[in-house]
Chains A and B, each alone.
Chain A
Amino acid sequence: MTPAEIRDEIIDILDDISPDEDLDGLDDQKPFRDQLELDSMDFLDIVMELRKRHRVQIPEEDYGNLASMHSTVTYLEPKMKDL
């Protein structure tokens, strides 16, 4: 997957787990939590969906990489480039 495709996939997951949010204006550089009402259970949903959809495993010590869209895509790129 390309970085753009990974981003689309994260948007799709966010749309599922936070269906009341408008994701069109999401700033990739800003933390998700500054823009969306996400709590720790929601971040676990992101981890779970990546596991279910792509068998991507994200260890707990790496959760900090999911802070923003930019950091998430950067972190996932090597894990998903061959998918």
Chain B
Amino acid sequence: MIAPHLASKLPDDQRIVITGIGLTAPNGNDWGTFRQALLDKRSGVQPYEIRYFGETLAGVCDFDAKKYQSKKDIRRGTRAGSVGVYAANEAVAHSGLDWENLDRSRVGIYVGVTEHGNVETENEIFVIKGFDYDTSCWSHHHNPRTVANNPAGEIALNMGITGPHYTIGAACAAGNAGIIQGAQMLRLQECDVAIAGGTSESIHTFGIFASFNSQNALASHTDPSAASRPFDKSRNGIVVAEGGCLYTLERFSDAKARGAEIYGELVGYAMNTDATDFVLPNPERQAQCVNMALKRAGLQADQIDILSTHATGTMSGDSQECAALRSVFGECTNTRINNTKSYIGHAMGAAGALELAGNLAAFADGVTHPTINVDDLDPDCHLPGLVLNEPQEHARVDYILNNSFGMLGINSVVIVGRV
């Protein structure tokens, strides 16, 4: 058993560290820009229109896909693939790895996704509708675009990586799940570098908007930047976003040997399952997941300096998560609590990885970015340590805990420590 051992007690070749960060978010296409947008309280939500559903709001990314892909590869592949290719290349560049001389059979790709294939399937149905549903006009690209490993496979093709590649389907817990999978594979010596995190192309499927709308869980607001408002009394649902965030993870021994800059160490993690409902979260199970991660990290709740919440802006989801957190952090005086979806919306499979990245810079600058758009705090969401509307500066940040939960009751928690 590897996981229950305290990270600090593990030998260096079992300690897992973050050495590179690549991302695209609706308010930034690199780590520094994204971080600055959070400190400047700059939203990435904008008006958006999609076939059949019509006008709505979304978090839209404007990264330059042609930076790492040919036009032909962009056309042939998927948006999730392009997001992944961009984030993976950016992460490797950021890591300082000697990529040209690296044994790429020892690189693994572990990409969390909430869903994959809806966009491409909807597109093909739209196309054949124009041909009276003649399936001979259904693209031969459909299968390679919709196989569940697609986003990870496109990264492998683009970067010549011949180690293992696959996606981790974990609803909106997927970003954390990708990181956890990468760490586990490094500990098992299945790879020497893990490219891990999550991606999302979800704003390109009308179905996700229509389904949230039918569930009365799709956000609307006259001001797009105010639409995503977790913890606020007037919150009315989720703003769907696209995005991606992939990390290069390495064993501490390898990172130290090559003199890599280290942005944090995975000191604890946990995943569990509610087993109670398709959609509604279970605070008791969420709290168990948080406590399991704390126990594995050998930490008390009050040692967590920043808690990055999952809250998506739904009435029940936010209050349920806050109930779970109250049971664990209710007496804490040190822990500051924030939410990044209030800026970018819900980036689905990328959410956990992006939200962690938004907070990681606090190890260096000591600042907790706030949850924005909280004009009238819902008493059901009250927690000690909530950072609302204005950043808070602190002398030192040593531990960040990142929540990511998803439908079918999947819960994930990652704790990253300063190295």
Which A residues fall within an 8 A CB radius of B? Answer: 16-20, 37, 41, 44-45, 48, 51-52
Report yes or no: B141 in contact with A41, Cβ–Cβ below 8 A: yes
Selected interface stretch from B3-11, B71-79, B158-166, B186-194: B71-79
Residues of A within 8 A of B139 (CB): 48
Option from A17, A20, A51, A52 in Cβ contact (under 8 Å) with B70: A20
Nearest-Cβ distance from residue B145 to partner chain A, whole angstroms:
11
Picked from B71, B76, B137, B141, the residue with its CB within 8 Å of the CB of A51 is B137
- B window 126-174: CB within 8 A of A: 127, 131, 136-137, 139-141
Residues of B within 8 A of A52 (CB): 127, 131, 137
Instruction: Give complex CA distance A17, B127 in Å.
Output: 16
Partner of A19, one of B72, B136, B137: B72
- Asked if A51 and B136 sit within 8 Å, CB to CB, the answer is yes
Complex partner residue of B137 from A17, A20, A48, CB under 8 angstroms: A48
Residues from chain B with a CB closer than 8 A to the CB of A17 are 72, 75
Write the nearest CB–CB distance from A48 to chain B, whole angstroms: 7
Chain A's closest residue to B127 (CB) is A52
| Closest chain A CB from B207 CB (angstroms) | 24
- Complex: chain A residue closest to B66, CB-CB: A20
Chain A contacts for B71, CB-based, 8 A: 19-20
User: Which B residues are CB-close (under 8 A) to A20?
Assistant: 70-72
Top 3 closest pairs, chain A to chain B, by CB? A19-B71, A20-B70, A44-B140
Chain A proximity mask over B50-71: 1 for CB below 8 Å, otherwise 0:
0000000000000000000011
The interface on chain B, measured as residues whose beta carbon lies within 8 A of the other chain's beta carbons, has a size of 12
Q: List 20 A-B contacts (CB under 8 A).
A: A16-B75, A17-B72, A17-B75, A18-B72, A19-B72, A19-B75, A20-B70, A20-B71, A37-B72, A41-B76, A41-B140, A41-B141, A45-B140, A48-B137, A48-B139, A51-B136, A51-B137, A52-B127, A52-B131, A52-B137
B108-141 near A? 1/0 per residue, CB < 8 Å: 0000000000000000000100010000110111
Q: Please count the residue pairs between chain A and chain B whose beta carbons lie under 8 angstroms apart in the complex.
A: 24
Residue from B70, B72, B140 in contact with A48 in the complex, judged by beta carbons closer than 8 Å: B140
Q: List, in ascending order, chain A residues with CB within 8 A of B75's CB.
A: 16-17, 19
Assuming A17-B72, A45-B140, A52-B131, what are 7 further A-B pairs, CB within 8 angstroms? A19-B71, A19-B75, A48-B137, A48-B139, A48-B140, A51-B136, A52-B137
Residues on the A chain within 8 Å of B76, using CB: 41
Q: How far is the CA of A48 from the CA of B127 in the complex (A)?
A: 12
Least Cβ distance of B131 to chain A in Å?
7
Q: Which residue of chain A has the shortest Cβ distance to B144 in the bound complex?
A: A41
A41 to B72, CA, bound (A): 12
Interface majority SS (helix, strand, loop, mixed), chain B? helix
Nearest CB of B to A65, in Å: 19
Interface centre among A18, A19, A52 (most CB of B within 10 A): A52
Q: How far is the CA of A44 from the CA of B75 in the complex (A)?
A: 15
Question: Given the complex of chains A and B, what is the CA–CA distance between A37 and B140 in angstroms?
Answer: 18
Residues on B with C-beta less than 8 A from A48 are 137, 139-140
Give the distance in Å from the alpha carbon of A48 to the alpha carbon of B141 in the complex: 11
Q: Taking the nearest CB of chain B, how far is it from the CB of A44, in angstroms?
A: 5
> B127: which A residues are within 8 A, CB to CB?
52
Looking at the assembled complex, report how far the CB atom of A30 sits from the nearest CB atom of chain B, in whole angstroms. Answer: 20
Can you name the residue of chain B whose Cβ is closest to the Cβ of A16? Answer: B75
A44 to B138, CA, bound (A): 12
CB distance from B11 to the nearest CB of A (A): 47
The B184-221 residues at the A interface (CB cut-off 8 A) are: none
Given the complex, which residues of A lie within 8 Å of B141, measured CB to CB? 41
Bound state CA distance, A20 and B136, in angstroms?
A: 27
Note all chain B residues with C-beta closer than 8 A to A19. Answer: 71-72, 75
Chain B residues with CB below 8 A from A16, complex form: 75
Per the bound structure, the CA–CA distance linking A45 and B144 in Å amounts to 14
Q: Which residue of B lies closest to A38 (CB)?
A: B72
**Complex Cα gap A17–B137 (Å):** 16
CA gap between A48 and B136 in the complex, in Å: 8
Residue of A nearest to B134 (CB): A51
Residues of B within 8 A of A51 (CB): 136-137
- Nearest to B76 among chain A residues (CB) is A41
A16, A20, A37, A44: which has the most chain B beta carbons within 10 Å? A20
- Report the Cα distance A37→B136, complex, angstroms: 25
Q: Who on chain A is nearest to B75 by CB?
A: A19
Shortest CB-to-CB span from B158 to chain A, Å, is 14
Chain A residue nearest to B130 in the complex (CB): A52
A44 to B370, CA, bound (A): 52
* B137 CB contacts on chain A under 8 angstroms: 48, 51-52
- Closest residue of B by beta carbon distance from A55: B131
Look across to chain A and name the residue whose beta carbon is closest to the beta carbon of B73: A20
